[in-house]
Structure 1
């Protein structure tokens, strides 16, 4: 009798689990293939909106070097006097996160108001890092929210992630780029597994009239997401047994900050002349995706497409993943892209750290070359590219979090800063061309590489090749989610 009851319970449980899996697959996967992008009141004008003949009061600093970019974040937080607003996709445990977390607490202890907005699924503040969430929530000057936390009952919310990487300090300076917080993004030369990315810092040189600065648009955007229904405070963070853990966590972070200042004194209290490092700009613009569920109206992609259509000489693109699907191409008029040169810099299979994304790219790789575009693949193999950058006609540039793939186009929040500046465009182009000429190979029409004087094709392990090929058999049906 007991055996029969156990079998019935097992059968019922199996049935419920099976029903849930089917429900999750339909509403969390298949639904996105058929859902039309939301059409809002947003409009994307022609590319001329990003140009100006007058000089802007906003100036731009380029942060290319990994280590320098980490120091820049420390300096910005150390010198904050009123507010720090930060949004990030993910964090990785290590020295970099220790420095970032402890410096945030140090700023909050000085009276700076800190708001942290993180993706609700991929924030990684779990396990040993959960005490940091408690500590932040307990501090009176730190407020923390998660964008679209995991909701088992609504699988359609799983795919719309917060992919922004944005820091705004005192409404005077803002950093935008593609770096998450982790050692591989800020490691010095020689770090195995390093991720090469790119950030820029926007400086408002005249705070007497901040409405004329792009920083006002960036702060408005952050405020909008912060108060949005999709952004939630962590649950159970201010009461119960977590109070003790929170106090201990704060004490640990304060001690850690003092320890880090002693061990790595060269990383703190730097004398940085931001103005001296900056480039002038005719105009600085800010574009972002709308805050919607399911498939979004692809505003960032439309803006970038309009600039590609408006370019007459050259288009230079860097993206770690390149997966231009049919749905994406519907928003760009290829007959209006008349640039003589369109070049793409991306990762090779040997360099990529994301074989899932590469499996999608591998299916369209030769098609891209056949269309007349030039592809240069960074060979690595101990480093990979993670920067997201566009340069049009050696004048207008875009830097931020947007990857050339369906996920950035239709699913995730994304931010890009568009800069009308020949000097800044030249600096970007020089850095990207250095990767292309000295560390990459050009893809031929048959999918092989063209010969290079000294850059060799890096070997790929049989396991990585096999995994990529196997994944490509599956991802071909789900490119809209990659």
Structure 2
């Protein structure tokens, strides 16, 4: 009798909790109006800076090399914020360079997302991060750590992918830290094509890197950014000594076997001057926030005189996004779009939701290209009038617009725009244009997605 009553009690509690989740983790996002997170537009719409140098980092090999170069170049500080970090060869090399920097006196601050760490911080990586936490020059924090009692916070993710070094160098783009972004030969069809923008500044003038630094500090000091643990036990310290020693040995091995990876970089020669560079980021806060990054992109699109090219791995214009777009008087015939196809994208839910909007997009824009794989595209890139380029973390979906932390860099430079357009031509050459009848017109085979599945997923596009 007691056991039966206990089961009934547990069942009721679980049902109440599920209802609580339904309301606070799903329905609340559908009805709550966006807020500014207590900030004004001046806090995250930074002024253009006129004295920065830039470079496009396109291939996975280039992306890996520049990250190692940045760690090796650091003299005083390294600030890192990443959405996901996964075990692998490059991750091991990158972490060893960070520890090497800390050992020579560089202050290293590492900011991770508080939810994705649960999925990706497995044994070797977890041990490495815990070892870092015992180093006097390294501090690790997590943005919005998982809490079973706050389902509305589960969606609020740190979507940043940024490195800032010495206040003189910065890297921003769509790549997370993991081998599938850097080692194409090993990952083949699972490889993720992405890109970064490198910014370099040396001199007394104001730099966009200062704006990026202030944003990192805002994230770092945010009231819901916390360390993994407040106290470290003596046993954990002893284990960390062993882990850090292994990482140091790996660092020594890399320097011995691959000295070419540790040559001093001429950052001036690697970059070229931009006419102007601007940094924009979303507000911080839970639930829906004002879409400042999206609004900047829409403003640039509405101001374009002749052409707009955009690339996004996912295009899911929710109802709230569509209402926002209406206010900008966009001339759709100027737009050319590149996104994943169903066969190239690893994100089944995102592609199912996208299919609900594909015909409407085709009817409006000049051309909609879908990348055919076998790998996928993950870059978030925009070109306006062949002179203004945008690189960053913002996907064209509700999550990037209203929920996650996001940031973009806006570069006014015909040279950078030309370089970016040339690099984008490679996936464009491996794409198919969607025809007016919403098919490939026989140009390629197309995977089928059940229409009912797309419609069901589309009901939740305000969270995708």
- Structure 2 length as normaliser, TM-score? 0.94
RMSD over equivalenced CA pairs, Å: 2.1
The equivalent of 1:447 in structure 2 is 438
The answer (yes or no) to whether the contact 2:192–2:378 under 8 Å persists in 1 is: yes
Q: Residues 269, 458 of structure 1: CA spacing in aligned structure 2 closer, same or farther, 3 A cutoff?
A: farther
Query: Structure 1 stretch 125-134 or stretch 105-114: which is displaced more?
Result: 125-134
Residues in 1 aligned to 2:365 and 2:354: alpha-carbon distance in whole angstroms: 17
The equivalent of 2:126 in structure 1 is 130
Residues in 1 aligned to 2:413 and 2:124: alpha-carbon distance in whole angstroms: 45
Query: Structure 1 stretch 80-89 or stretch 226-235: which is displaced more?
Result: 226-235
Of 59, 65, 76, which residue of structure 1 is paired with 2:70? 76
Of 5, 8, 13, which residue of structure 2 is paired with 1:8? 5
Of 184, 187, 197, which residue of structure 1 is paired with 2:194? 197
Of 416, 422, 427, which residue of structure 2 is paired with 1:430? 422
The answer (yes or no) to whether the contact 1:85–1:114 under 8 Å persists in 2 is: yes
The answer (yes or no) to whether the contact 1:50–1:419 under 8 Å persists in 2 is: no
Q: Residues 361, 234 of structure 1: CA spacing in aligned structure 2 closer, same or farther, 3 A cutoff?
A: same
Residues in 2 aligned to 1:269 and 1:76: alpha-carbon distance in whole angstroms: 10
Residues in 2 aligned to 1:336 and 1:19: alpha-carbon distance in whole angstroms: 46
The answer (yes or no) to whether the contact 1:114–1:141 under 8 Å persists in 2 is: yes
Aligned: 1:358 with 2:351: yes
The answer (yes or no) to whether the contact 1:113–1:141 under 8 Å persists in 2 is: yes
3-state secondary structure, aligned to 1:116: strand
The equivalent of 1:241 in structure 2 is 235
Residues in 2 aligned to 1:326 and 1:374: alpha-carbon distance in whole angstroms: 22
Aligned: 1:94 with 2:52: no
Aligned: 1:224 with 2:218: yes
Q: 1:51 Cα deviation (Å)?
A: 7.3
Instruction: Encode CA deviations 1:312-335: one digit per residue, 9 max, x unaligned.
Output: 100100000011122112222466
Unaligned runs of 5+ in 2: none
Q: 1:42 Cα deviation (Å)?
A: 2.9
3-state secondary structure, aligned to 2:273: coil
The answer (yes or no) to whether the contact 2:48–2:208 under 8 Å persists in 1 is: no
Of 164, 176, 180, which residue of structure 1 is paired with 2:160? 164
The equivalent of 1:43 in structure 2 is 41
Q: 1:340 Cα deviation (Å)?
A: 4.6
**Number of equivalent positions:** 459
Instruction: Encode CA deviations 1:321-364: one digit per residue, 9 max, x unaligned.
Output: 01112211222246622365201101001100111111110111
- Structure 1 length as normaliser, TM-score? 0.90
Instruction: Encode CA deviations 1:224-268: one digit per residue, 9 max, x unaligned.
Output: 1101101101125512532222222111211222233345444x2
The answer (yes or no) to whether the contact 1:82–1:113 under 8 Å persists in 2 is: yes
